[in-house]
Amino acid sequence: MTSTNTQIISYSPSSSSKSTHQFTYEVLLSFRGEDTRHGFTDHLYEALISCGIRTFRDDEELERGGVIASDLLKAIEESKIFVIIFSENYAAARWCLDELVKISECGATEGRLILPIFYHVDPAHVRKQSGSYEKAFVDHEKEADEEKREKIQKWRSALAKVGNLAGYDLQKYHL
């Protein structure tokens, strides 16, 4: 797979890190369960685990409109690499967007990497919140009060920031 700024990362579980922070997880997967859990995400998770890579995948579906569970927040804080699987309905899930904001904040710290994967979604739709992402935001903004509008702006900023990172556009491959 290629991207405009892809780096080859070799992984060795025993390799030393320049960071002094001890991470519980090497990789955290962020995804919309309905879109990718029983396919792409399961295969990616199993491949990472089989290579001995400590990987966090939230197996519990969050209740619609629910808040991020404290164990998920902790897992984000204790992860080194964030793989975000942007799918068609990712932006429709408030908890995915809350998770993305937290990942975006943590990913800005030294020694961490955010790797976006665009799973059957145009990367420009993520960056610019167009297509299915625009529809999701129209729904989020209906009857939003001031507090929710501020949260929506954080979601938009995180999508633009992470959507601009070099990643993998799976639309280019026949999977």
Q: Mind telling me the catalytic residues? A: 99
| 90 and 116 Cβ atoms separated by less than 8 Å | no
Q: What is the DSSP string of the chain?
A: ---TT-------TT---SS-PPPSEEEEEEE-HHHHIIIIIHHHHHHHHHTT--EEE--SPPPTTPPPPHHHHHHHHTEEEEEEEE-TTGGG-HHHHHHHHHHHHHHTSTT-EEEEEESSS-HHHHHHT-THHHHHHHHHHTT--HHHHHHHHHHHHHHHHHHTS--EEGGGS--
